[in-house]
Structure 1
Amino acid sequence: MKIHQLYRKQKLGMTRRQAWEFFSSPYYLNDITPDFFHVDITSPVPNEIYAGLLISYQMKAVWGIPMNWLSEVSHCQKPVRFIYQQRIGPFKFWSHEVSLSECPDGVVLEDIVFYAMPYGWLGKLLHATLIGDKLKRIFDTRHDYLQARWSIPTMTDSPSH
């Protein structure tokens, strides 16, 4: 099984408290992702996330086909980091860590995603021809949205692939 990784780091002009409130809420997902990736939250979500919280979604990320996703907040260290992992969904494995650290002008946001494709050779083909690019586009859109809203012009942001 091949494990893929996406890593992004971005400096934002906001407080860590503001960043935590924004990134820990699943209600902003549609704001920070491209139009082809639409998410409907299908379970109640409390005002504050916590370790063990399960959140169910229905998303339309590939060809408008609805897919169910159940994620668990596996780690939660407010306001520093949280990790959510797919429990049911389209990937064989998915783990996304969101980390927030303070810096002189705001916060540094780091996204670390590990994932594996299902379906053997077909999953490899889908990743090479479709999924890998779509995931990069999702995080590029997220970067651009955040940069437009909370940019700090002196920092050179660097998407890493």
Structure 2
Amino acid sequence: MASIFLLQRTQFIPAPLPQVWDFFSNPNGLARITPSNLRFRITSPPDERKVYPGQVITYTVSPLAGIPLEWMTEITHVREGEYFVDEQRVGPYKLWHHQHHFREVPGGVEMTDTVHYRLPLGWLGRLAHTLFVRRQLEHIFAYRHRVVQELFG
């Protein structure tokens, strides 16, 4: 039986919702909040528009032993100022469904990331999850949390 894993993180950002939405809804900001050791690079043509349904974004990333992997995500759902969803179309996961939710709260924005994911290779994928994938994802999201705190105060 293949396992679907869940990663969920919530962060308070002391900034107005339009400013937070502008940053996160522009794919070019993603490189700023990704650890440099992953060698993340957007390979799709530059696009200064905010995310929109049907948008495809391609990347290279090196999550394991410096081996570069291609990753393609599609933005499947967007509600301006509230949420957007990206889903992997090509990449290291068998399933990657990432929801980005934004909610205005007193003094700023509450941002919640919810990621459902599944690894390939059955029991080997589950073992890899236990040994390093879960830890690596937790590290990436902890890094993002710190960088977002620095960017928004």
Above 0.5 in TM-score?
yes
Alignment partner, residue 123 of structure 2: 121
After superposition, the CA RMSD in angstroms is: 1.2
Misfit runs of 4+, over 3 Å: none
Contact 2:93 2:118 in 1 (8 A): yes
Q: Distance in 2 between matches of 1:63 and 1:30?
A: 19
Contact 1:30 1:38 in 2 (8 A): no
TM-score computed with the length of structure 2 as normaliser: 0.93
Gaps spanning 5+ residues in structure 2: where?
none
Alignment partner, residue 91 of structure 1: 93
Alignment partner, residue 36 of structure 1: 37
Relative contact order (C-alpha < 8 Å, sep 6+): which is higher?
Answer: 1
What's the offset of the Cα at 1:46?
Answer: 4.2
Alignment partner, residue 3 of structure 2: 2
Alignment partner, residue 19 of structure 1: 20
Gaps spanning 5+ residues in structure 1: where?
152-161
Q: How many residues end up aligned between the 2 structures?
A: 151
Which structure: greater helix fraction? 2
Deviations 1:100-128 (A, max 9, x none): 11011011111000000101111111111
Matched AA of 2:87: Q
Contact 1:14 1:150 in 2 (8 A): yes
Aligned residues: percent identity? 37
TM-score computed with the length of structure 1 as normaliser: 0.89
